Structure 1
């Protein structure tokens, strides 16, 4: 997306007056919708739409061997794919850097045991564990990708059920698992601490959340703040611009406040809606 100087000036003046071009104030989000359990062959899935941003997440589970340095923990890997139809910028190999950045930021945000306890994925210490493969597909980009992805991932993990293990047999060096095929034996994941990301953009002298694609073009600096249970798990610089120390602290505080509000809204929505239904929140 390219903007002329008149369009940038219009957006800048709107932010100064606390009245953005779509009618929102600086700390308001656009409407969101989330669907869960929409992919039948996945262990958990979710699709989240934030205005024109559309993200699809599917979770697969397989048996693996724990890392030698972490024998009592399972594994969690993120893979991001940018659809060439999401935006013209993704044609060819244009989306590879963005995909790598998002997957790395998710790995950093989930690294803390308070954010996500990998010990609950251990089947047999040092021998067998569950490995979660979180596949993320960016279907359409309308700004604020990091926030949308983090919410979609949390919703998909909430929808995920881990198969129950009935028994573990050891035959020499081989470990055999007797996995239950009953749905009632599956165990839900605890995602209460799963982080939520909030992008804070500086436009002119003010900071805004949930920037649209046009607003991102007008931003002089941006931060992505990942928050878990009120604590910051990682901070990512979203653009090449810099922030004054005072503005930086204000941006971090705003990110934590908004992330807590988003987390409450998302969890209340997920807990009140059955699988396979569309649910809207923050409208």
Structure 2
């Protein structure tokens, strides 16, 4: 994870400001920075999105390829995640420095999407036990400026919203053998419903309070954070603690309630942005969430 060095005086200044609900950049504890979302930015993918959150820059591409359903789930397709931490994002990712973080992010995404409620995996099945769509979700970290998990979850949801999967017809002859026919029409495609795809809301405990969308400087003042995956209806699907510090039960309860409240607004804003950008075509407006 990208880090920044702060003096004790700077840390005290940040902590005291958070206690007064006034952060260094003027935001309140539950305010996000402006978020810029672009979709359909990579031509050779089934869907793609780029998200800029402060100084954090994330690019996600989704490729749909035919595969074989897993033995334990013969009627479903599935998603595969790969996270690449670019060395240009921070010098700490030089060599194999970003491998551990990439694995950590990929495992978190697996936990979030390893259920039927997030994505309709049965819609990805072409022929039970024989053919299905496999969605390869590639995440590229272009720049790290704090709050990686939230930005990545927003980019993944936007990329899945933008994904177009070719329509497939299964033809069966008199002998019972099946033939797969893909439509040549680029407009003859199916889309995934992202209504129940959660977004991650990361809450950093700073002093006696917690903040959302922490900057690198604020993350340096926090010993523990809570990653909460929240759906558009405020349903929590996954919770994970990050950091070496501890969180008391009362703090966890407060952070969960904050994540539900903030997450519902985040989803509504994101959905509005995605539909607006789709209607505008190549014009890409910069729209802030929760500002």
Q: Secondary structure at the match of 1:19?
A: coil
Could you tell me whether the CA contact under 8 Å between 2:68 and 2:129 is conserved in 1? yes
Matched, 1:261 2:268: no
- Relative to structure 1, the CA distance from residue 24 to residue 171 in structure 2 (aligned partners, 3 Å threshold; closer, same or farther) is farther
What is the aligned partner in structure 2 of residue 271 from structure 1?
275
2:236 to 225, 232, 235: 232
Q: CA deviation at 1:169?
A: 4.2
Matched, 1:165 2:168: yes
What is the aligned partner in structure 2 of residue 281 from structure 1?
288
What is the aligned partner in structure 2 of residue 209 from structure 1?
212
- Relative to structure 1, the CA distance from residue 239 to residue 277 in structure 2 (aligned partners, 3 Å threshold; closer, same or farther) is farther
How large is the Cα RMSD of the aligned pairs?
1.5
Matched, 1:184 2:191: no
Q: CA deviation at 1:276?
A: 3.8
What is the aligned partner in structure 1 of residue 104 from structure 2?
101
1:143 to 142, 146, 165: 146
- Relative to structure 1, the CA distance from residue 173 to residue 276 in structure 2 (aligned partners, 3 Å threshold; closer, same or farther) is farther
Q: CA deviation at 1:167?
A: 3.2
Could you tell me whether the CA contact under 8 Å between 1:108 and 1:233 is conserved in 2? no
Could you tell me whether the CA contact under 8 Å between 1:12 and 1:203 is conserved in 2? yes
What is the aligned partner in structure 1 of residue 10 from structure 2?
7
- Relative to structure 1, the CA distance from residue 170 to residue 263 in structure 2 (aligned partners, 3 Å threshold; closer, same or farther) is farther
Matched, 1:54 2:61: no
1:251 to 244, 250, 255: 255
Q: Secondary structure at the match of 1:109?
A: helix
Q: How many residue pairs get matched?
A: 283
Q: CA deviation at 1:241?
A: 1.1
Q: Per-residue CA shift, 1:185-204, capped at 9, x if unaligned? A: 10111111011000000000
Alignment of 1:26-175 (within 5 A): 26-169=29-172, 175=178
Q: Distance in 1 between matches of 2:144 and 2:93?
A: 10
Q: CA deviation at 1:253?
A: 1.1
Q: CA deviation at 1:268?
A: 0.9
Q: Secondary structure at the match of 1:126?
A: coil
Q: Distance in 1 between matches of 2:133 and 2:225?
A: 36
- Relative to structure 1, the CA distance from residue 221 to residue 63 in structure 2 (aligned partners, 3 Å threshold; closer, same or farther) is same
Q: Per-residue CA shift, 1:246-273, capped at 9, x if unaligned? A: 0011111111111111111000111122
Normalising by structure 2, report the TM-score.
0.94
Could you tell me whether the CA contact under 8 Å between 1:44 and 1:156 is conserved in 2? yes
Q: CA deviation at 1:174?
A: 7.0
Moved more, 224-233 or 240-249: 224-233
Q: Secondary structure at the match of 1:10?
A: helix
